[in-house]
Chain A
């Protein structure tokens, strides 16, 4: 019955966005896939393909992203980033914030969609240090609570030399960041702070930083505390003149079923404004209604 309603909405695309927002925005990933299947049965057309051809603006893009399965969504985001040649932070996010199993699901989805492996396309579109850093996408990190304190000490020093002092070898820094388990890395970052008094990511990037340094920075911040990282992405997206809708959509759609609430809480603590209010101020129309629905705060 959801589907029947949706059919009318989509067929008359542009006439009842409210229906789309209200229905899709409140469905879980499982339910959305059911809707997709039912649509295909009735209309012999993939709902996703239909949406792909109808994307005109931010609202359609957000709905399209929302309806994709998470792994497929991230595969699409990664592909867009690769083709753009600059949004490596998106690839870093996918590679570091997802669990190793989730990352593999993205790799599978990417293979299925693009008939190339994710690492194949990343490597073919990058070079030098940034290509090596993209070794992040091939990682399959060990997941466990074990920490080796001596290793944390050694590797904190290696990271310091490479990243802060800009001497030593970037290769060793990349090795550590792309292969160690997240638990081990967080221990390493903590050890770094104990030794040097500041967090490793502080002042890691400035206006002069190149893509590689920015990628390193994103890697460290995403692994260390991805909620805080996402809060900053959202804050910058809102602050930016004209608003970075793409980044806003990306964070809200990707995290709505995971930890968007935590990100909102951190946003409020940091900015003394509720995220939904900040968002409502900067954007409008169906796009605004859809994002607010995902935020759980429809008007």
Chain B
């Protein structure tokens, strides 16, 4: 005999929500009323952000970098070029310097998988025997490549330097290179191989540099905590971008004191050591200077989207209200045909 339980007899107590005018219409209005102010807030914040962008690829023959357009990885001496520019407004708070690449497919499947996180995490066996995923940048001349893979191999290696030109004097601006990577990446995900002592040269013994690199990974920087796999430029590069046009944080410019803006309005010059060829695949390189707010850098899309969606919600609410009032079903039981 079947049990007489609420579960078995399908009599479980339940909440049975229905979309009624009483719930739907207010919901639309409330969403509208919440979204519009948020959108305005974001929009205003975004507009207050200073951003400056230079394309230094040099496709334009008049560009100073045009000469470097067909540079190759192993060209010596490196091609350098200088671009002058003027900031109309001063950058008040901390300024972030980015390099931006376009038409660069860091999200290509074969590219994305072409790395060995085990190796990058300092695993000694992977260091000498990298994963197959790294092919064809797994070994070079029978030596394992460290760091292996297409991502590491294609690391961005232009050097950007910024000078303020004040009455023909070039004052270099201090660019801080640490603190640009995620803490977890720097401290958890990326680690140098372990062994006796801190001599990276010894630790990377038996490996070879990636094909495109001018120098091995343990010579990326002079500071020990920014060298090898934990070099922050390297880490930033290794965090692949989702889209073919992207920017990556390059340097920080910290505000010195409260009296002066970080970057005053005026003339500046950008000195580029042009090592990174992009022209062959129609790529573009940019340098971006930007301040940030609570929600990051300039982001007009989000604000506009919020305002639009909020308005549509509100508008829909009104339309639905009218429709409901005019044609709405009163939902009386008289409608139920027997």
Are A and B interaction partners? no
